[in-house]
Structure 1
Amino acid sequence: MLDVKVFNSIDLPAADRFDAWQQLLGQTHAPVHLTSESADDYRATLRQFTLGAAMLWPAAYPHLTWHRPVRLVRQSDPESCHLTLVLRGGGVAQWDRSERALGPYDFHTNHTSVPYVIHCHPGQHEIIGVELPRTSLGLPWSRVQQVIGQGLSARDGIGLLLAQFLIQVSHDTDNYAPAEAPRLGQVLTDLVTGLFARALDADDRLSPETRTRTKILEMQAFIRRNLGDVHLTPGAVAAQHHISRSHLHRLFQTEGATVSAYIRAQRLAAARRALADASTPAEPIHAIAARCGFKDHATFTRSFRAAYGITPRDYRQAAHL
């Protein structure tokens, strides 16, 4: 389980909540001046955890205006690159005489050396914030600065891959051991670097290691999206990504698993989640198996028991107690 620090403003007296929220964000991101139409009774939550050199902080909060003026930049500059995945809500960001509207599944970018103002729309907001030391990125900082403020989408390509990674890790912190945090941080850094490189049309500047890891993540995401296809094989994955099967197997060797083993593990994990889902208790087990890409019920039962030490039926019964 990752070490997660949790803040919930309702644990404090109403009069202290907004000041505590401002202090927390100043420590999490950088010193910032906040105002809100809900400041008298501010209800916000934030979880904070580190992945190697990176920090993630999923947060939910009502209306807010962020202002980091020159005075605060001079007061404290951690020299970090910031990325926000907007999940709910939106607003307008302003910096260096530039302005950009933000909405769900947009990435907002800034860095702590530049003053900015963000005006959030009224209503509730949900984001995942990312802090990365600017020295950790696999591109020259002068090039990264050209990306800051650009319209970066989380709806397709590597942006979607990064968004899926952030959401999965943020939701499943209990499923990762502390020893896995540095590796997750490296994956995150590679994805952010790849997103910036794509925006700069500078893929050729990425290190071979970053290109390899990004390629593997893209293929793993493709596999997870197509688990229900019984024809999902290593050959199909290789063909989709325009590489040979031998190249595909070499790439997955760096992950410590074969392609077939990864597909099987993801199918089993998807089936286990479905069996534990209380919203679909009546769905037949054989239908879940088919939906997750298993060709027959018997094969699914054997594979599930081998992986988890229990039959699918017994697992479902235990999960719904």
Structure 2
Amino acid sequence: MLHESVLRTVDLPVTDRFDAWTQQLGRTHAPMQLASDRAADYRGHQRLIGLGDVTVWPATFDHLVFRRTPKLVRQSDPEVFHLSLLLRGEGAAVWGGQQAAYGTSDFHVNGSSRSYEIVTGPDPVTIVGVEIPRELVALPAGRAERVIGRRISGREGMGALLAQFLVQLASDTGPYRPSDAPRLGTVVTDLVTAVFAHAVDDDLRLPPDTHDRTLVLRAKAFVHRHLPDPELTPARIAAAHHISRSHLYRLFRAEGISVAAYVRDQRLANVRRDLADPALRAMPVRAVAARWGFPRAAEFTRAFRTAYGVPPGEFRRQALSAGSGAAARGRGRSAK
């Protein structure tokens, strides 16, 4: 599991909550002046996920006004870009005489080297924030800064690819090892660079390896969306991205895996998760397999046993038995 640190203001005395939140965001991005009409009893929840030089931080918090003044910029500038993917709520930003409003599934971009004011709506907001050093964004000087303050859609194009990756990562860091963190940071860096380049019509200046990694990520996102389809083939994946199968094979070989193995492994991981889910215990194993693109039972059973060392039915019995035992132990402790 990736290393995370968590702040929940409800765990603190009421009088300390807003100050703690202010200090935390100052460390997360850069020192800011914060204000809120809920400061007397502030509710905020932030997870900090370290990915090498990049930080991802899912958060939900009450109404807030962020001000990074010219004086604060002069006093401290970590030279980072910040992106916020707004998942719930609304907000607006003012910078350099310009302003923009943001809604659900929009990205807002700012930088620690510029002064700004950001205001969220009256209801709590939920975001996934990203902090990325300026030097990691592989665009010519001055190009990336043109994205600051702009509203970028997380519903389509490159913005959607970045949004999908961040939401999936934030929803469950359990499958990743600490050693995966720098690699995941590189993925975020490449996607942010691609999003910025697209926003300023600068795609052709992207380094070739960034193009390739971005294309791999697009292909993987396509695979995840179509896993239930038993007709998901390399030819179909390649056609969806307007490349040849040989090009697709080369891209995945650079990742250390074949296209077919990646599809199979993702399907097996989803089946494994569903077999361990008590809510799905009534669904036959073969139905769970078919749900994730395995229409032939014998082929699926061989693949599952090879991957996990036991037949799928036995795995389900062990997983559900272990879950029931843990729940019973928890109830016993609660009764004491």
Question: Does the pair score TM above 0.5?
Answer: yes
The residue identity in structure 1 corresponding to 2:137 is L
Could you tell me which residue of structure 2 aligns to residue 164 of structure 1? 164
Question: Is 2:129 the partner of 1:129?
Answer: yes
d(CA) in 2 for partners of 1:277 and 1:66? 42
- Contact kept? 1:82, 1:130, Cα under 8 Å: yes
SS at match of 2:60: strand
Shift of 1:204: 0.5
Deviations 1:123-153 (A, max 9, x none): 1211111111101101023001111122201
- Contact kept? 1:83, 1:109, Cα under 8 Å: yes
Could you tell me which residue of structure 2 aligns to residue 218 of structure 1? 218
The residue identity in structure 2 corresponding to 1:270 is N
Shift of 1:67: 1.2
How many residues of Structure 1 are paired with residues of Structure 2 in the alignment? 321
Question: Is 2:109 the partner of 1:105?
Answer: no
Shift of 1:317: 3.3
d(CA) in 1 for partners of 2:235 and 2:191? 25
Q: Within 5 A, what are the aligned runs for 1:2-81?
A: 2-81=2-81
The residue identity in structure 2 corresponding to 1:267 is R
SS at match of 1:142: coil
d(CA) in 2 for partners of 1:167 and 1:318? 30
d(CA) in 2 for partners of 1:231 and 1:314? 28
Could you tell me which residue of structure 2 aligns to residue 234 of structure 1? 234
SS at match of 1:223: helix
Judge which range, 125-134 or 282-291, deviates more.
282-291
d(CA) in 2 for partners of 1:61 and 1:279? 31
SS at match of 1:141: coil
Shift of 1:60: 1.1
Could you tell me which residue of structure 2 aligns to residue 273 of structure 1? 273
- Contact kept? 1:134, 1:141, Cα under 8 Å: no
Shift of 1:43: 1.8
Question: Is 2:194 the partner of 1:189?
Answer: no
SS at match of 1:107: strand
SS at match of 2:142: helix
Judge which range, 178-187 or 306-315, deviates more.
306-315
Could you tell me which residue of structure 2 aligns to residue 296 of structure 1? 296
d(CA) in 1 for partners of 2:47 and 2:97? 32
SS at match of 1:56: strand
Shift of 1:276: 2.8
- Contact kept? 1:135, 1:141, Cα under 8 Å: no
Shift of 1:59: 1.0
Shift of 1:122: 1.2
d(CA) in 2 for partners of 1:200 and 1:37? 37
- TM-score, normalization: structure 1? 0.96
Shift of 1:239: 1.7
Could you tell me which residue of structure 1 aligns to residue 334 of structure 2? none
- TM-score, normalization: structure 2? 0.92
- Contact kept? 1:79, 1:133, Cα under 8 Å: yes
The residue identity in structure 2 corresponding to 1:232 is L
SS at match of 2:129: strand
Shift of 1:118: 1.1
Could you tell me which residue of structure 1 aligns to residue 309 of structure 2? 309
Shift of 1:319: 3.4
Deviations 1:26-70 (A, max 9, x none): 011111111112111112111112212111111111111111111
Shift of 1:225: 0.6
Shift of 1:310: 2.6
Deviations 1:198-240 (A, max 9, x none): 1112110000010000000000111111111111111111122
Could you tell me which residue of structure 2 aligns to residue 91 of structure 1? 91
Could you tell me which residue of structure 2 aligns to residue 254 of structure 1? 254
The residue identity in structure 1 corresponding to 2:22 is Q
d(CA) in 2 for partners of 1:149 and 1:43? 26
The residue identity in structure 2 corresponding to 1:315 is F
Shift of 1:314: 2.9
Judge which range, 291-300 or 184-193, deviates more.
291-300
Gaps of at least 5 residues in structure 2 are 325-336
d(CA) in 2 for partners of 1:65 and 1:284? 52
Gaps of at least 5 residues in structure 1 are none
d(CA) in 1 for partners of 2:75 and 2:135? 21
Shift of 1:309: 1.9
Judge which range, 236-245 or 197-206, deviates more.
236-245
d(CA) in 2 for partners of 1:79 and 1:196? 16
Deviations 1:4-27 (A, max 9, x none): 111111221110010011001001
Could you tell me which residue of structure 2 aligns to residue 174 of structure 1? 174
SS at match of 1:149: coil
d(CA) in 2 for partners of 1:74 and 1:276? 53
Could you tell me which residue of structure 2 aligns to residue 154 of structure 1? 154
> Taking every aligned residue pair, what percent have the same amino acid on both sides?
52
